[in-house]
Amino acid sequence: LWTDDNLPPILNRNAWDACGNVGGTPGCVMRSDILRLEILARFGGVYLDTDVKPVRPLDEMCPPEVVAWAACEQLDIVTNAAMGFPPNHPAMWHAVAMVEESFFERRYVGDQAGPGLIARVVTQYDDVALYPPAYFHPTVGESKSNPDAKHFLLAAHLFAGTWVEDNRPRHRGLWAANAWKPPQGSHADTGRRDNVAVRCRSDVVRSCRAQ
């Protein structure tokens, strides 16, 4: 389990440290954005935000013919809330390489290392499938107006906003019930509840592996 206090080696350390100076919600969001890119680039796997509820098995998100994928929140917005990539995919390393310049040149949090950056990168790669909103975003306009959307739904992005300070009281019971506990006798550091936590399993899907 990776947290603010227990990080894997990351290339964008300057941007990561700068997030600490930003503080509050924006700083936490940007750190999460940076870390998911670095972990997917190095290890591969499926990344889902903690408020993305799987409806079908992860294998169905990565059928054999799909090398890598990202979800569209709307027809013209690529989200970083749900993504699947094999290790060392060039699109992910491209995104990692762009973080520092993007972070210090762009003002909007979502453009610095989040959905805006993802959209600018993955649309340059023909082997990255962009899943339409009906696959992961059943509550957006395009999906609600599609009578066949329920047949395509793989997971539901619930937009819980758990990182927003005012929303935290609503989710404390859920966090307590689902808190990760290390095996008995383990000295693993579980970190604080407000720390960034990302888990990736690169062996969970067939096509999100090194080819």
Q: In the 3-class helix/strand/coil scheme, how is 8-43 assigned residue by residue?
A: CCCCCHHHHHHHHHHCHHHHHHHHHHHHHHHHHHHH
- Give the chain's length: 211
Which region among 37-46, 67-76, 98-107 has the lowest average model confidence (pLDDT)?
Answer: 98-107
57 or 109, which is more confident: 57
CA distances to 88, 156, 202 from 51, in Å: 26, 8, 20
| Cα separation, 86 vs 92, whole angstroms | 9
Q: Tell me if 90 is assigned to some domain.
A: yes
Q: 0.75 exceeded by the pTM?
A: no
**pLDDT given at position 183:** 52
- State the pLDDT confidence band at 127, using cuts at 50, 70 and 90: very high
Q: Tell me if 186 is assigned to some domain.
A: no
Q: Tell me if 178 is assigned to some domain.
A: no
**pLDDT given at position 84:** 96
Q: Tell me if 22 is assigned to some domain.
A: yes
- State the pLDDT confidence band at 172, using cuts at 50, 70 and 90: low
Instruction: Quote the mean pLDDT of the chain.
Output: 76
Domains identified in the chain, total number: 1
Range of the domain at 132: 13-171
Q: Tell me if 183 is assigned to some domain.
A: no
Which region among 15-19, 30-34, 80-84, 147-151 has the lowest average model confidence (pLDDT)?
Answer: 147-151
Q: Which helix (H) or strand (E) holds 142?
A: helix 141-144
| Cα separation, 180 vs 90, whole angstroms | 32
| Cα separation, 63 vs 129, whole angstroms | 11
Using CA atoms of 24, 30, 32, 33 in order, give the dihedral in degrees to the nearest 10.
160
In this predicted structure, the answer to whether residue 96 has a pLDDT above a threshold of 90 is yes
